[in-house]
Chains A and B, each alone.
Chain A
């Protein structure tokens, strides 16, 4: 028991201690205490800051793309520069933002707290993973400063191994290194969930967020090394003259695509699964109900993680893969939609007859469901062999995966950041601004990407900076939407910073939410709990919580309750 003795009183906003408690933020000061920390919560904050930087870089390149595409002619960039711009956008967003986004920040912060542990199983490895991430990022940024890379984020051979004169090696090394950070995070989560659960916390009492991160960790551990060896093979071919994918020696460039997508398709599930975990938590809390179909949601996470490994060839329907293999991959792709659909049905059923609170996290979660649904269903179009020939390499694909990655992952990420912000910082964010920006993001997003479905279906190819004039209307809409979306992303950045100093103090549990993380103080002490937590009840026991608290004071901001 290393915290100061506190006198607690009940105030209008919940339980707030009079004296300042020792927590992970004020336990130690100075840059060294952050850079050498082994506390998973501080490492999560380090990750949060660094991925925000990479998100802004990636976002800046997205803005350049949208700027160029306002008119059909080449106004801003040459073809080569444009290739580098969209490649950089992809690499930054995929490898340096989306993959670490939820696991390395929210997951890192919450998984140990949710399982009632003092830290992750390997705190030093956790810190190492952040350093590896930063070093990998610096390599890639160096390549960017020196002149960039133009292969697309997919590094297809033989262009990447032989012909491209961009900084393929340097970027590849950066991604290779960053891959290790992802592996180490996944490894840490797997061991922590297996070995460090608090007494009484059986597998079916784990929050679904933990299940989702566990499933994503499986993919990180089993998939990442395969793309790593793919990058090594490109490096050997480019740097040392070995020929593994070289058609002149009889090598098959398509083999690289197999190796690349074996990881990079499941990587999409690394991005979306933790997001689904976030949505499960938010959905139960703001519907004030036990989550519907707990075991179905839990097992569908594992189902997605496993079946997700069998579908990679749907990226290669037109690259010269055998048509029989195409049929098999198409079939598995349809099958992987089933566990995703199970989740959506269960979330909907959770809301049914719930007392829904339209708070900011809930708005993001509702946005997630809508956008993920569109992204997922258009995924089925793409998975149909015949349709894919029509829409392959068009803006339809671009719109599809942005609906999943931005509409899915980023919405969930923002929802999760808002939901757990009081826990992470001890401060509330301004609710009004939160709702406004959530709405702005939703509208801006749809305005940006829905027109791309139409342009793509009509035949506008991706990765070109000039296009026939008849597509201009869709591109202007899209660029306008991107502006709205950009503003929608900037507002939270500003008010979340503001709230660090001026935000209302949050009690331990401002949402009256279930879960071990809400039982400790906000922000939590360095070892998460001042006592050894013991779990003696089922997860998501919202009916009990509400029954208990209706007798005592109501806590924070249940302003617009509506009965559905």
Chain B
């Protein structure tokens, strides 16, 4: 196709870079709404059971460490900031900063997963993983939780699926890092950075909801 605006950075099916960029953004957002619905199923289950087993959920939630969760939220919010700054660096064509911010994002993302792994290990030790070995002790004053196993099933399902998304995100970041070191991105072509950024922020948003839902049910 002999389109004046065509160059190697614009795929054959698009007329110009702007159409390509808008299509990529809308495409990513369309994918993200599928992700919203994906987590929606878990949030639905959470909502129903929390409403039904209020007492168990209050007691079970107290077992989780608020401050570890809070720390992890901070880590993730910082990673979102570095990601946003990375996209900005890409927009300005600043390759060095882009590489730096992607590395920073990856470090914070990995830190989040590390803390999560520590929390999981602790749950294993305390027999809080659903299954035949599950045994709920609770914290003093809040020992009674007949349906605690449901809470922990949801805890592992929700945080597990979230962690899986983080791992996918780290994979995307690795890919971005390689490409940005090679100098693929420029002022005129930074779509991949932008849409990977959208994904990263989305995973952050999911955690913004999971943290109060799982850790902050009742702390008074």
Query: CB within 8 Å of B: which residues of A?
Result: 1, 117-123, 183, 187-188, 190-191, 194-196, 221-226, 228-230, 232-233, 236-237, 240-244, 249-252, 255, 258-259, 527, 532
Contacting residues, chain B, for A532 (C-beta < 8 A): 1
Return the contact of A195 from the options B19, B33, B38 (Cβ within 8 A).
B19
The CA-CA distance from A236 to B44 in the complex, in Å, is 16
The answer to whether A249 and B41 touch across the interface, beta carbons within 8 angstroms, is: no
The CA-CA distance from A336 to B157 in the complex, in Å, is 35
The answer to whether B45 and A191 touch across the interface, beta carbons within 8 angstroms, is: no
Contacting residues, chain B, for A249 (C-beta < 8 A): 130, 147, 149-150, 153
Chain A contact residues: helix, strand, loop or mixed: helix
Interface 0/1 of B88-126, CB less than 8 Å to A? 000000000000000000000000000000000000000
Is B174 in contact with chain A by the CB < 8 A criterion?
Answer: no
The answer to whether A228 and B13 touch across the interface, beta carbons within 8 angstroms, is: no
The verdict on A259 contacting B30 (CB below 8 Å), with A233-B157, A242-B130, A243-B130 known, is: no
Q: What are 22 A-B interface contacts by the 8 Å CB criterion?
A: A118-B12, A121-B13, A121-B23, A187-B30, A196-B19, A196-B23, A221-B30, A225-B37, A233-B42, A240-B130, A240-B131, A241-B131, A242-B131, A243-B149, A244-B45, A244-B157, A249-B149, A249-B150, A251-B150, A252-B49, A255-B44, A532-B1
Is B71 in contact with chain A by the CB < 8 A criterion?
Answer: no
Is B34 in contact with chain A by the CB < 8 A criterion?
Answer: yes
Interface 0/1 of B13-26, CB less than 8 Å to A? 11000010011001
Is B39 in contact with chain A by the CB < 8 A criterion?
Answer: yes
Is B212 in contact with chain A by the CB < 8 A criterion?
Answer: no
Return the contact of A225 from the options B35, B44, B149 (Cβ within 8 A).
B35
The verdict on A191 contacting B30 (CB below 8 Å), with A225-B37, A226-B40, A527-B1 known, is: yes
- Shortest B134–chain A CB gap in Å is 9
The answer to whether A252 and B48 touch across the interface, beta carbons within 8 angstroms, is: yes
The answer to whether A118 and B13 touch across the interface, beta carbons within 8 angstroms, is: yes
The answer to whether A221 and B33 touch across the interface, beta carbons within 8 angstroms, is: yes
The verdict on A241 contacting B130 (CB below 8 Å), with A221-B34, A230-B41, A250-B146 known, is: yes
The CA-CA distance from A123 to B12 in the complex, in Å, is 10
Return the contact of A229 from the options B19, B41, B146 (Cβ within 8 A).
B41
The answer to whether A236 and B37 touch across the interface, beta carbons within 8 angstroms, is: no
The verdict on A236 contacting B34 (CB below 8 Å), with A191-B26, A249-B149, A258-B44 known, is: no
The answer to whether A122 and B37 touch across the interface, beta carbons within 8 angstroms, is: no
Contacting residues, chain B, for A222 (C-beta < 8 A): 33-34, 37
Is B52 in contact with chain A by the CB < 8 A criterion?
Answer: yes
The answer to whether B157 and A242 touch across the interface, beta carbons within 8 angstroms, is: yes
- Shortest B199–chain A CB gap in Å is 14
Is B202 in contact with chain A by the CB < 8 A criterion?
Answer: no
Contacting residues, chain A, for B140 (C-beta < 8 A): none
- Shortest A204–chain B CB gap in Å is 21
Is B54 in contact with chain A by the CB < 8 A criterion?
Answer: no
Contacting residues, chain B, for A259 (C-beta < 8 A): 41, 44-45
Contacting residues, chain B, for A117 (C-beta < 8 A): 13
The verdict on A191 contacting B41 (CB below 8 Å), with A241-B130, A252-B48 known, is: no
Is B132 in contact with chain A by the CB < 8 A criterion?
Answer: yes
- Shortest A541–chain B CB gap in Å is 26
- Shortest B165–chain A CB gap in Å is 12
Interface 0/1 of B40-72, CB less than 8 Å to A? 111011001100110000000000000000000
Nearest neighbor of A237 in chain B, beta-carbon distance: B153
- Shortest A1–chain B CB gap in Å is 8
Is B213 in contact with chain A by the CB < 8 A criterion?
Answer: no
Return the contact of A119 from the options B12, B31, B40, B146 (Cβ within 8 A).
B12
The verdict on A226 contacting B37 (CB below 8 Å), with A191-B23, A250-B150 known, is: yes
The answer to whether A229 and B13 touch across the interface, beta carbons within 8 angstroms, is: no
Nearest neighbor of B39 in chain A, beta-carbon distance: A229
The answer to whether B27 and A121 touch across the interface, beta carbons within 8 angstroms, is: yes
Nearest neighbor of A223 in chain B, beta-carbon distance: B37
The answer to whether B154 and A228 touch across the interface, beta carbons within 8 angstroms, is: no
Contacting residues, chain A, for B41 (C-beta < 8 A): 225-226, 229-230, 233, 259
Apart from A230-B41, A244-B154, A252-B49, list 9 A-B contacts with CB within 8 A.
Answer: A187-B30, A225-B34, A226-B40, A232-B161, A243-B130, A244-B153, A249-B150, A250-B53, A527-B1
The answer to whether B30 and A233 touch across the interface, beta carbons within 8 angstroms, is: no
Contacting residues, chain B, for A243 (C-beta < 8 A): 130, 149-150, 153
Is B189 in contact with chain A by the CB < 8 A criterion?
Answer: no
The answer to whether B150 and A244 touch across the interface, beta carbons within 8 angstroms, is: yes
Contacting residues, chain B, for A119 (C-beta < 8 A): 12-13
- Shortest A249–chain B CB gap in Å is 5
Contacting residues, chain B, for A226 (C-beta < 8 A): 37-38, 40-41
The CA-CA distance from A117 to B19 in the complex, in Å, is 12
Contacting residues, chain A, for B31 (C-beta < 8 A): 183, 187
- Shortest B28–chain A CB gap in Å is 9
The CA-CA distance from A120 to B147 in the complex, in Å, is 49
- Shortest A528–chain B CB gap in Å is 10
The answer to whether A255 and B38 touch across the interface, beta carbons within 8 angstroms, is: no
The answer to whether B39 and A191 touch across the interface, beta carbons within 8 angstroms, is: no
